């Protein structure tokens, strides 16, 4: 029992106390969040119960209760029943003790269900002491960051390991203790001393004492109210993610796992995600998405817009880079020699570069512009993440097998046509890379076959397993049941390569989305312009005829009212249109208003300039308006600063509208979003809206986790050209222009 043994035990004890200290500091920070959350959550529960009619008690008693007299007595909601209690209920005529017991038991069950499901929403525009306390408590944990979380996790695991070792090593700390202990205990003590020494040495090498001390400093730092609210508005997703984790009201597990078959989900759960090169925490469903890509190797991540597909992709790359560095047995520069390639539309190239740099320690090289070949050679030599565009990819030599560790393709629906040159280039790279992650919130639009084309690039076997009738199980007949069976079978067949989650399933804290169709009667001037477009057979002119004569435009007048109302409420507005000339008219119309107008964001605006316009719009204090061409700005750019969205006209493809709305209503949004779609009664708008509804039902059946009531064969394969021709002919017939041109020109 020498000095060395005592010193080893003393070092182990110091490490144990440091680990317990940081774990305790974290526990107190978590408890501060729970304490701040409790009264807010109780208030939400009470409000929900007060809104539940007492008739809902029948839902949990299979209709056995007679509640008429209870309701007539003034106890019309579940909340009032619980507040009344047994004595008040017994005073209701015709209600006996047995009924009282049943009513209260049913009410308690509903209250428990509400308690487990409701979420607290934090209103940044109406801060009050209780929400401020919650935001400040969350701010402490958010500011501690991933490094703090890692330190706490290590400390917790280390404390659990050190406690029993210190107890076992006690006989080695003194001669008398050693003599009094039996041979078996002395042997265990020596083994424990050796392990304590090893753990202390490892802690010194990894700087654990310093990381524990820093974590404690961060967790004990008094939060600043202004900094906390500013942090919440900028990074609300992180705050809400922590809140869901601490409250235990995380999204439904099955929903977070995309309702995958159990055998696939089980394999994914077994993947351990390395976060050492990642700078941000993941939400539960995001971590599952990253593990899905790692477990299945070549997949499509089809999460709905706004769920953070980019950070999931970065998590995959950071994991692979850390794994490669560890396998090499050396501490290289972040990312080591591993090579990863991200292919994306030009408009989001800057956004990808920013996200990788901000959210990981990976090296980024932009493979775009006049020097892209030199940049490509540098990336191949030094490794890291190369970011390029679909068009630039065609100019680079395809890699040798396994030369590039992973390929990420953003907005992958852009390569759904297998005959296109960009599609062939992506397919070749996907074949040569051991891992590929295709990302798209819109995996199919008009034809399910397009989705199969994406699957074929990743797993020809799965693609071949999909039958030849657009996944409908050979059912071409009209009717909901046939399509439902086909869509369920389709999703099951693609489960090994396809994961999709929807906002409603996993973002319980997302502010409300209110969509309003603003139907306007065309003015006489509008009608005249529309009639001219119909007579000419010009489909595109028909779609924008409501803006052809701005001085008498009913849609423009309504748009001005919406923007002015938003401005009076201090809200920012994004205005989308398919047409550049419509955006020009809107800009001229709004130029005299109080709110500054930014844009328009159109296809030929360079990517960096697009991002600057969005940044300037977001940085403007008070109301502002951003004009954007829907097919250019509906991809990749995040516009959470906006809480009002205006669609100048309905789109031919529902996915264009979905993408545009999701740019504002997405994870990170902290205010409710109002969407106004400007529609003209009669004519092309009404016909397009009906087509949109049919296309959306088809998309829901095959790409989302939702049943579909009905769909028709022509909802699947009507082309845009055919749709335009049909609408032109129908409108010409409706307006009695049978001698007009039947063409559908643009």
The DSSP-derived string for 232-258 is: HHHSHHHHHHHHHHHHT-PPPHHHHTT
Tell me how far the alpha carbon of residue 265 is from its chain's centroid. 19
pLDDT band at residue 697 under the 50/70/90 scheme: low
| pLDDT above 90: percentage of residues in the chain | 48
| pLDDT above 70: percentage of residues in the chain | 86
Q: Helix (H) and strand (E) counts for the chain?
A: 32, 13
pLDDT for 171 = 76
Which residue would you say has higher pLDDT here, 159 or 653? 159
- 347 has a pLDDT exceeding 80: no
CA torsion sign for 250, 254, 260, 262 is positive
Q: How far is CA 315 from CA 275, 292, 328, 518, 581, in A?
A: 7, 11, 20, 41, 41
Q: Work out the average pLDDT over 716-724.
A: 61
pLDDT for 173 = 66
Q: H or E element: which one contains 301? A: strand 298-301
Question: In this predicted model, what pLDDT tens digit does every residue of 81-109 receive, in sequence order?
Answer: 999 999 999 998 888 888 889 899 989 99
Question: pTM for this structure?
Answer: 0.72
pLDDT band at residue 379 under the 50/70/90 scheme: very high
Helices (H), 206-337: 208-220, 225-234, 236-247, 253-256, 262-269, 284-296, 309-328
pLDDT for 433 = 96
pLDDT for 484 = 36
Pick the range with the lowest mean pLDDT from 36-50, 83-97, 211-225. Answer: 83-97
Pick the range with the lowest mean pLDDT from 38-47, 85-94, 545-554, 650-659. Answer: 650-659
Could you tell me the two tokens for 667? Answer: 């994870």
- 250 has a pLDDT exceeding 70: no
Say if 250-504 and 511-680+712-734 have the same CATH topology.
Answer: yes
Could you tell me the two tokens for 289? Answer: 């998405």
Which residue would you say has higher pLDDT here, 726 or 722? 726
Which residue would you say has higher pLDDT here, 581 or 706? 581
Question: In this predicted model, what pLDDT tens digit does every residue of 567-620 receive, in sequence order?
Answer: 887 889 999 999 999 999 999 999 988 899 998 998 888 878 888 898 899 888
| CATH top-level class of 511-680+712-734 | alpha beta
> Domain limits of the chain?
3-37+125-234, 42-117, 250-504, 511-680+712-734
pLDDT for 443 = 53
- 482 has a pLDDT exceeding 50: no
Tell me how far the alpha carbon of residue 333 is from its chain's centroid. 30
Most confident of 249-253, 353-357, 364-368, 638-642: 364-368
Residue spans of beta strands (DSSP E) within 323-440: 339-344, 364-367, 384-389, 406-409, 436-439
Which residue would you say has higher pLDDT here, 126 or 437? 437
Which residue would you say has higher pLDDT here, 138 or 569? 138
Q: 151, 214 in Cβ contact below 8 A?
A: yes
Kindly report the number of other CB atoms within 10 A of residue 297's CB atom.
Answer: 16
pLDDT for 390 = 96
pLDDT band at residue 705 under the 50/70/90 scheme: very low
pLDDT band at residue 490 under the 50/70/90 scheme: confident
Count the residues in the chain: 746
pLDDT for 475 = 35
Q: Does domain 250-504 have CATH number 3.90.550.10?
A: no
Q: Work out the average pLDDT over 672-687.
A: 89
- 160 has a pLDDT exceeding 90: yes
> What integer best gives the mean pLDDT of the chain?
84
Question: In this predicted model, what pLDDT tens digit does every residue of 277-326 receive, in sequence order?
Answer: 998 888 889 999 999 999 999 999 988 877 889 999 999 999 999 998 76
Most confident of 376-385, 465-474, 654-663, 729-738: 376-385
CATH number, domain 42-117, options 3.40.1030.10, 1.20.120.1200, 3.40.50.720, 1.10.150.20: 1.10.150.20
- 684 has a pLDDT exceeding 60: yes
- 478 has a pLDDT exceeding 60: no
pLDDT for 283 = 86
- 712 has a pLDDT exceeding 50: no
Q: H or E element: which one contains 601? A: strand 597-601
Q: 688, 656 in Cβ contact below 8 A?
A: no
Closest by CA to 361, choosing from 279, 273, 238, 274, is: 279
Burial class of residue 94 in the structure, from the number of CB atoms within 10 Å of its CB (0-12 exposed, 13-18 middle, 19+ buried):
exposed
Which residue would you say has higher pLDDT here, 135 or 517? 135
pLDDT for 701 = 57
């Amino acid at each position: 029992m020498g000095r060395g043994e005592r010193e080893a035990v003393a070092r182990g004890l110091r490490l144990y106390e440091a680990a317990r200290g940081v774990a305790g500091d974290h526990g107190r920070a978590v408890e501060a969040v729970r304490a701040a959350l409790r009264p807010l959550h109780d208030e939400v529960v009470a409000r929900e119960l007060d809104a539940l009619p007492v008739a809902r008690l029948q839902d949990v008693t299979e209709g056995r209760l007679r509640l008429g007299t209870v309701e007539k007595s003034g106890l019309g909601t579940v909340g009032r029943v619980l507040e009344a209690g047994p004595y008040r209920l017994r005073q209701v005529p015709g209600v006996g003790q047995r009924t009282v017991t049943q009513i209260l038991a049913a009410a308690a069950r509903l209250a428990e269900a509400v308690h487990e499901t409701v979420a607290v929403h934090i209103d940044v525009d109406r801060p009050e002491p209780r929400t401020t306390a919650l935001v400040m408590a969350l701010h402490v944990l958010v500011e501690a960051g991933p490094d703090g979380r890692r330190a706490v996790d290590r400390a917790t695991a280390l404390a659990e390991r050190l406690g029993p070792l210190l107890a076992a090593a006690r006989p080695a700390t003194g001669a008398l203790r050693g003599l009094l202990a039996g041979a078996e205990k002395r042997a265990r003590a020596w083994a424990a001393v050796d392990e304590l020494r090893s753990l202390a040495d490892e802690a010194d090498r990894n700087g654990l004492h310093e990381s524990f001390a820093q974590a404690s400093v961060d967790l004990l730092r008094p939060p600043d109210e202004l900094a906390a609210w500013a942090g919440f508005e900028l990074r609300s997703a992180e705050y809400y993610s922590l809140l869901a984790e601490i409250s235990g009201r995380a999204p439904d597990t099955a929903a977070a796992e995309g309702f995958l078959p159990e055998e696939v989900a089980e394999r994914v759960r077994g993947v351990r995600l390395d976060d050492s090169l990642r700078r941000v925490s993941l939400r539960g469903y995001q971590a599952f998405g990253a593990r899905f890509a790692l477990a299945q190797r070549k997949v499509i991540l089809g999460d709905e817009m706004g769920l953070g597909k980019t950070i999931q992709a970065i998590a995959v790359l950071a994991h692979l880079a850390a794994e490669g560095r560890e396998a090499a047995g050396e501490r290289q520069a972040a990312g080591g020699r591993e090579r990863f390639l991200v292919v994306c539309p030009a408009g989001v190239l800057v956004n990808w570069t920013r996200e990788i740099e901000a959210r990981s320690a990976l090296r980024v090289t932009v493979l775009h512009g006049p020097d892209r070949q030199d940049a490509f050679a540098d990336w191949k030599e030094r490794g890291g993440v190369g970011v390029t565009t679909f068009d630039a990819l065609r100019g680079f030599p395809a890699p040798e097998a396994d030369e590039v560790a992973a390929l990420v393709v953003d907005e992958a629906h852009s390569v759904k046509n297998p005959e296109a040159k960009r599609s062939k280039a992506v397919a070749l790279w996907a074949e040569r890379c051991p891992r590929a992650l295709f990302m798209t919130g819109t995996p199919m639009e008009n034809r399910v076959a397009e989705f199969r084309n994406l699957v074929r690039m990743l797993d020809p076997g799965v693609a071949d397993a999909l039958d030849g009738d657009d996944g409908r199980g050979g059912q071409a007949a009209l009717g909901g049941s046939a399509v439902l069976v086909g869509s369920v079978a389709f999703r099951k067949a693609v489960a090994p390569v396809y994961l999709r989650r929807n906002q409603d399933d996993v973002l319980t804290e997302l502010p409300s989305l209110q969509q309003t169709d603003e139907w306007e009667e065309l003015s006489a001037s509008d009608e005249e312009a529309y009639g001219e477009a119909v007579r000419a057979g010009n489909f595109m002119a028909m779609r924008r005829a409501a803006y052809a004569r701005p001085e008498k435009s009913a849609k423009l007048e309504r748009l001005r009212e919406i923007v002015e109302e938003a401005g009076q409420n201090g809200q920012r507005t994004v205005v989308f249109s398919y047409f550049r000339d419509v955006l020009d008219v809107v800009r001229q119309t709004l130029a005299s208003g109080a709110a500054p107008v930014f844009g328009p964001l159109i296809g030929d605006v360079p990517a960096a300039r697009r991002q600057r316009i969005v940044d300037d719009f977001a940085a403007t204090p008070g109301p502002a308006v951003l004009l954007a061409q829907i097919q250019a700005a509906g991809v990749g750019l995040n516009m959470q600063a906006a809480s009002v969205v205006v669609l100048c006209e309905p789109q031919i493809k529902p996915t264009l509208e979905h993408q545009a709305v999701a740019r504002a209503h997405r994870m990170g949004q902290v205010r409710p979003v109002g969407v106004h779609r400007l529609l003209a009664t009669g004519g092309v708008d009404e016909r397009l809206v009906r087509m949109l509804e049919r296309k959306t039902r088809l998309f829901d059946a095959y790409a989302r986790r939702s049943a579909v009531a009905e769909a028709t064969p022509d909802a699947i394969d009507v082309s845009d050209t055919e749709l335009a021709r049909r609408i032109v002919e129908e409108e010409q017939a409706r307006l009695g222009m049978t001698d007009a041109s039947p063409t559908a020109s643009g």
